[in-house]
Structure 1
Amino acid sequence: MDLFTPERPEWTVDDACIALGQSESTIYRYFRSLVAAGLIFSARPGCYLLGPGIVHYDRQLRISDPLLRAAEPTFAELSCEYQGPGMIFISRIYRDHVMTMHEHRLGVTPFPEGTFARGRLAPLFCGPPAFAILAFLEVRAVRAMFQKTSGDDTEWLEIKRRMRTIRALGYAASIDDTDPGFLIVSVPLKHDDGGIAGSLSLSLPSSSDNTALIATIGSRLVESAAQMGCRATASAS
């Protein structure tokens, strides 16, 4: 499935054999299984694209995930308070990246698709949505993730310093970092046992008074995240 990207959405069996270093019979078997599940389909003879089954499973995710269900009232409340343009979104760690699972655009003015657009893989050690999760995990677990990157000891010390600051504040924030012209504020989303489920973020155009705005948003998102956690727990029970 990782073969299918926006840069290359269409694949043949022969091309997949070369890319994966597998035999033709193995790739045919893979493709038949994916076609049967609706995850890919033949757009024209011998050429395959991502299939409609993904949309089906996407809907299943939206209606079955307690956290995503709990987000709807929160998104509605925040939409009334922040008119936009902007975006509210929930992120989770996926493989060695952070990925937005659910998003809501604020206002009627178009808001650009940035680093954290839904479904886009963003670097794990980059931006508030990721650091709002990482800062509240065990340091040794974060260290293990960091060791998979090409970062050095100096970078690791800076990451630890940043995580300490985030834990003290309760939220992560950046201005003109991953997406120039915008600020992002993120808070951790916690399970009732204290584990980290993901992060809740709000992105808005940066302003002349970013410091005050970030502090206000941070406090509001901490409150919203707590409410979401309570709703998710009640929904799952």
Structure 2
Amino acid sequence: MSEMNSLERVLALLDVFAEDRLEWTPEELMAELGYSRPTLYRYLKTLKEAGFLASMPTGGFTLGPRVVEMDFLMRKSDRLAQYAQPHLERFAADYPCAALLVRWYGRKQLVVASECMTPGHENEYPRGRPLPIARGATSRAIMAHMTRRRLQAHIEANIEELAGAGLGDTVEEVMGELRRVRRRGYAYSHGDVTRDMTGIASPIFDGGTSPVATFCVTMYTERTTPELIERIGRRICDISAELSAKMAENRLAAGA
């Protein structure tokens, strides 16, 4: 593996912050990342001055206000989220569910928009919270449309988790299940991500051959029936097709 350049090292520093680890001291960062003290402090100074990090009275660092500013700008510029918002609101009004727009990037799935209007229905995945990459309906909807080469590598890297989710014990078994998902047009799963919850998801494209996001609905499993899952699945497929067409139009217009 080639040595990381300075930009990659800065990005790796930001990447250590997670929901279960919100604050890091310089000593902890040096141990985690292997950076020398002068290098680490240079990066910390630059990121703090730019607002990406904030120092705490404890001596540690957390993410800074610049991240909030960039989130504000993303909300105003993310056309997919803007197109999806009315559909999310209607779904949340029509069904006892949480409706989510989930972006796929790199090796992560991230909720970028969500709506829930049902009293007593806790939405555990608000904007900004990542989802597992090998479990749940969103993951299945994405994997079902990967190229074979990329899919095989993804399955091999996550075979234990995929087997635990009931997708199969071998690469070919998982691929067979995902082919059925692709033919159906949507994926569903029960309790893969959150206990007692069912997820239903369909992929969204932007004119390319690989999905960039999914439209997903989650609801308590006890409130579902096979007929309801199919009805919601078909409606989600229609919404995803509409959003995909709009994104493809944007892509063509940008290239004109």
Match of 2:59 in 1: 46
Match of 1:199 in 2: 214
Deviation at 1:178, TM superposition (A): 2.4
Question: Which residue of 101, 109, 114 maps to 1:90?
Answer: 101
Match of 2:8 in 1: none
How many residue pairs get aligned? The number is 233
TM-score normalized with structure 1 length: 0.87
Higher strand share: 1
- 1:44 alignment partner, SS class: coil
TM-score normalized with structure 2 length: 0.81
- 1:196 alignment partner, SS class: coil
Match of 1:75 in 2: 88
Match of 1:179 in 2: 194
Provide Cα deviations, 1:36-69, integer angstroms capped at 9, x if missing partner: 2211111226321111111111122222122111
Provide Cα deviations, 1:124-147, integer angstroms capped at 9, x if missing partner: 221110110110121111112233
Q: Distance in 2 between matches of 1:76 and 1:123?
A: 24
Question: Which residue of 217, 220, 229 maps to 2:244?
Answer: 229
Answer 1 or 2: higher relative contact order, Cα 8 Å, separation at least 6.
1
Deviation at 1:26, TM superposition (A): 0.6
Unaligned 5+ segments in structure 1 are none
**Counterpart amino acid of 2:211?**
I
**Counterpart amino acid of 1:181?**
D
Provide Cα deviations, 1:138-165, integer angstroms capped at 9, x if missing partner: 1111112233346599432222022111
Match of 1:108 in 2: 119
Match of 1:218 in 2: 233
Higher helix share: 2
Q: RMSD over aligned Cα, in angstroms?
A: 2.3
Provide Cα deviations, 1:179-200, integer angstroms capped at 9, x if missing partner: 2222110001122344412111
8 Å CA contact 2:205, 2:247 repeated in 1: no
Match of 1:132 in 2: 141
Q: Distance in 2 between matches of 1:158 and 1:97?
A: 23
Match of 1:120 in 2: 129
Deviation at 1:234, TM superposition (A): 4.9
Q: Distance in 2 between matches of 1:193 and 1:4?
A: 32
How has the CA–CA distance of structure 1 residues 234 and 95 changed in structure 2, closer, same or farther, with 3 Å as cutoff? closer
- 1:99 alignment partner, SS class: strand
- 1:100 alignment partner, SS class: strand
How has the CA–CA distance of structure 1 residues 154 and 207 changed in structure 2, closer, same or farther, with 3 Å as cutoff? closer
Deviation at 1:20, TM superposition (A): 1.4
**Counterpart amino acid of 2:232?**
I
How has the CA–CA distance of structure 1 residues 37 and 215 changed in structure 2, closer, same or farther, with 3 Å as cutoff? same
Deviation at 1:110, TM superposition (A): 4.1
Match of 2:173 in 1: 158
Provide Cα deviations, 1:77-123, integer angstroms capped at 9, x if missing partner: 223322x2x2111223333332222222232334151xx55433333
Question: Which residue of 18, 22, 31 maps to 1:9?
Answer: 22
